[in-house]
Amino acid sequence: MESHETKYSNSVEEDYDINQDQAAVTRRIQRLSLHLNPISEPPVSSDRLQLLTCAGRAKINVSDEQLAKYLRGKHRDIQERVYEYFNAKPDLQTPLEISKDEHRELCMRQLVGLVREAGIRPFKYVVEDPVKYFAVVEAVGSVDMSLGIKLGVQYSLWGGSVLNLGTKKHKDKYFEGIDNMDYPGCFAMTELHHGSNVQGLQTIATFDPLRDEFIIDTPNDGAIKWWIGNAAVHGKFATVFAKLMLPTHDTKGVSDMGVHAFIVPIRDMKTHEVLPGIEIHDCGHKVGLNGVDNGALKFRSVRIPRDNLLNRFGDVSRDGKYTSSLPSINKRFAATLGELVGGRVGLAYSSVGVLKIAVTIAVRYSLLRQQFGPPKQPEISILDYQSQQHKLMPMLASTYAFHFATSYLVEKYAEMKKSRDEELVSDVHTLSAGLKAYVTSYTAKSLSTCREACGGHGYAAVNRFGSLRNDHDIFQTFEGDNTVLLQQVAVYLLKQYKEKFQGGTLTVTWNYLRESMNTYLSQPNPVTSRWEGEDHLRNPNFQLDAFRYRTSRLLQSVAFRLRKHSKTLGGFGAWNRCLNHLLTLAESHIESVILAKFIEAVRSCPDVSSRAALKLVCDLYALDRIWNDIGTYRNVDYVAPNKAKAIHKLTEYLSFQVKNIAKELVDGFELPDHVTRAPIGMQAAEEAYSQYAQCSGF
Ligand SMILES: Cc1cc2nc3c(=O)[nH]c(=O)nc-3n(C[C@H](O)[C@H](O)[C@H](O)COP(=O)(O)OP(=O)(O)OC[C@H]3O[C@@H](n4cnc5c(N)ncnc54)[C@H](O)[C@@H]3O)c2cc1C
């Protein structure tokens, strides 16, 4: 067994020696009391202060250009076109202070300019190359998140519903208008009383065989379509989700065929007046994303031609007969929702884009900012404080991890769109739900941490954290609430678990469960649970094994609990009794997938120094996650006390090492200053303070 003491002699974990710890605490108190009351400074010998600063340690040599080359997606060129277009157009840049109404108009002009003037055609990319489309979504979102969402409403939601739920006649009729922004549209699913529970929505579409039309109605105020993007001001059409009612010859009069989607014109094409029978109100000023005009829609006997039913999964003939290739309402509903995962993929991907901006600003500022330091010596950079490293370095590592995981997701999504392979559909559905939930929750929390890490200057609106936080916050809720989405991941895991025990096969993403189930259901190995050497802890096999062990155990135990509780509480009650357990399981699985993708990305990196840097970052990601959940590992003796301690020490050491290349790591994201747009986060650190002071008129 290796001794970590020999490994880390002269490294930061020496601080963990209790005496040293106490000395460090005393020194900090002395420094702080000096700050508060300069007269009371006691003499402190300089040799005792050496451990305070981290500067000067050996660091990996890494080139940000090589890193950027490896990270860069194949559509970097189109992202640069987006950035340059807006950079050259001051009138299209969103000012810091802007009213809701002005922001909405600006956002519309930005979108129209992008499509008609800059020649970016997102709808074409949706069809021909979804990876390119997501690259545009990410770039546009970093210009103004409202613009990213408005673009997503137009092309992923309104356009996506026509493409994926309609048939050729719909594409022929609407494609061009959607593409060139002649037909701005909405996606009207959510109602006042029903958001996550889409199957509970109440808007109805009744077929009238006499006039060959559907009649759209809002039967009560709870069914008013709510939060509908593009509805309050700009939309001309809406894809309205409603229960399809067909006349029957029995006593019931109508038969409910389940939720279907219908194209409903909502404003006149020429005058832009709201059409008869439709009432539209504004959802008003929001916490963020005020460039998007969310509105509420109420329908009173609004007639639309039969052709406006988006009929890919179910159709109604001239004489009112219903046909579908799918046998039940539930199957049709699942197929309908399954086609809409593109929006979720876009949100996960863009959320990483937001995280990159926030981490870049926070890291650059933390390198620049100096506070305190040993007596009579220069002040030190705040990133030299262990606490600042602890706040930001695992976050920087996670940003890299998410970059590779969401890049994988968009590639898989594009592959699925081509092949329509059933296994791939199920994988992408679950992966997009899990990554959207996991990444957007992480980013939302990190935005607050980044603001706080930048102190008071982080609170200045010009330094971006406020708008990033407010605009991004809702990413956790729309396109599927995160808590609800994680449950979908848990459902799939349980399905896989059941199939495993019934002799079925497992799809690619879940393959690890096959081995895990066999290996991990036994007790942890008492010998390996004590291994604490650096080589072992930094071995990807150990790290992946730990992640997967946790998932497998959680899966096995929750399956057991569900079986037990369903006998007394029924299926719904048992699920609710185990809900937190199920959510932890889903997160654990997603973390396993993220780590696996990161490890693959490290292995595939062709440049030696970039590979070494990525390995360091990947190790930090893995060990920080394990440390955060150390209680679980300790509870089942997967990790013995000595190993837990070694993991903690190594995590702090890796944070410190990553800090040494933090500048190169954020430069690797290739975010120009006109995209980060925060004076304190400028690439040329020497100009940051003066640029910032200029914003206040100096
Ligand atoms: C700015 C904005 C833009 C939007 N744009 C659109 C749009 O263009 N078109 C559209 O159709 N919709 C849109 N929406 C609506 C959005 O999709 C819904 O808000 C979202 O689906 C969540 O539904 P809800 O608000 O009803 O939340 P609820 O479902 O009421 O959830 C509230 C809370 O209850 C919890 N909860 C709910 N169900 C469960 C459960 N089963 N288990 C555990 N916890 C649960 C959730 O976790 C959440 O914390 C938009 C919303 C906003 C705010």
Query: Cα–Cα distance between 398 and 406 in angstroms, integer?
Result: 12
The structure tokens 């038969």 sit at 255
Using the mean position of ligand 1's atoms as its centre, give its distance from the Cα of residue 225 in Å.
13
Supply the pLDDT for residue 361. 98
pLDDT digits (tens, 9 = 90+) for 549-601: 999 899 989 999 999 999 999 999 999 999 999 999 999 999 999 999 999 99
Residues 302, 277 contacting (CB under 8 angstroms): yes
Q: Enter the tokens of residue 617.
A: 């970052």
297, pLDDT greater than 60: yes
Q: Enter the tokens of residue 80.
A: 């640069």
Supply the pLDDT for residue 399. 98
Identity of the residue numbered 493: L
Q: Is 229 annotated as a binding residue?
A: yes
Supply the pLDDT for residue 501. 62
Supply the pLDDT for residue 33. 41
Please work out, in degrees rounded to the nearest 5, the angle formed at the alpha carbon of residue 266 by the alpha carbons of 263 and 271: 135
Ligand 1 atom nearest 288 alpha carbon = 1
Supply the pLDDT for residue 421. 85
- Percentage of the residues of the chain whose pLDDT score is greater than 90: 82
234, pLDDT greater than 80: yes
pLDDT digits (tens, 9 = 90+) for 674-698: 999 999 999 999 999 999 999 999 9
Q: Chain centroid to CA 2: how far? A: 39
Supply the pLDDT for residue 503. 53
Supply the pLDDT for residue 232. 98
pLDDT digits (tens, 9 = 90+) for 433-455: 999 999 999 999 999 999 999 99
26, pLDDT greater than 60: no
pLDDT digits (tens, 9 = 90+) for 243-262: 999 998 776 788 999 999 99
Highest-confidence range of 9-18, 259-268, 422-431, 516-525, by mean pLDDT?
259-268
55, pLDDT greater than 70: no
463 versus 420: the higher-pLDDT residue is: 463
Q: Is the CB of 153 under 6 A from ligand 1?
A: yes
Ligand 1 atom nearest 576 alpha carbon = 42
- Percentage of the residues of the chain whose pLDDT score is greater than 70: 88
- Mention every residue, 6+ apart, whose C-beta is less than 8 A from residue 662: 363, 366, 367, 383, 392, 393, 396
479 is an active site residue:
yes
Instruction: Give the pLDDT band (50/70/90) at residue 291.
Output: very high
Bridge partners of 237, per DSSP, are 185, 265
Q: Is the CB of 290 under 6 A from ligand 1?
A: no
Q: Is the CB of 477 under 6 A from ligand 1?
A: yes
pLDDT digits (tens, 9 = 90+) for 89-148: 999 999 999 999 999 999 999 999 999 999 999 999 999 999 999 999 999 999 999 999
340, pLDDT greater than 90: no
Supply the pLDDT for residue 522. 63
In angstroms, what CA-CA distances link 569 with 258, 492, 563, 626? 28, 22, 10, 34
pLDDT digits (tens, 9 = 90+) for 595-638: 999 999 999 999 999 999 999 999 999 999 999 999 999 999 99
Q: Which of 13, 479, 532, 664 is catalytic?
A: 479
Instruction: Give the pLDDT band (50/70/90) at residue 65.
Output: very high
pLDDT digits (tens, 9 = 90+) for 520-553: 666 788 889 999 999 999 999 999 999 999 998 9
In angstroms, what CA-CA distances link 421 with 233, 297, 324? 40, 37, 20
CB neighbour class for 358 (10 Å; exposed up to 12, middle 13-18, buried from 19): buried
Q: Chain centroid to CA 120: how far? A: 24
H/E stretch holding 299 reads strand 295-299
Q: What residue's CA is closest to ligand 1, atom 40?
A: 484
Q: Is 190 annotated as a binding residue?
A: yes
Work out the average pLDDT over 279-302: 98
Supply the pLDDT for residue 510. 56
Mean pLDDT score of the chain, rounded to an integer?
90
Q: Is the CB of 491 under 6 A from ligand 1?
A: no
Using the mean position of ligand 1's atoms as its centre, give its distance from the Cα of residue 191 in Å.
10
Of 390-399, 472-481, 510-519, give the lowest mean pLDDT range: 510-519
Please work out, in degrees rounded to the nearest 5, the angle formed at the alpha carbon of residue 696 by the alpha carbons of 103 and 32: 115
Helix (H), strand (E), coil (C) string for 423-473? HHHHHHHHHHHHHHHHHHHHHHHHHHHHHHHCHHHHHCHHHCHHHHHHHHH
Q: Is the CB of 294 under 6 A from ligand 1?
A: yes
Instruction: Give the pLDDT band (50/70/90) at residue 502.
Output: low
Ligand 1 atom nearest 229 alpha carbon = 8
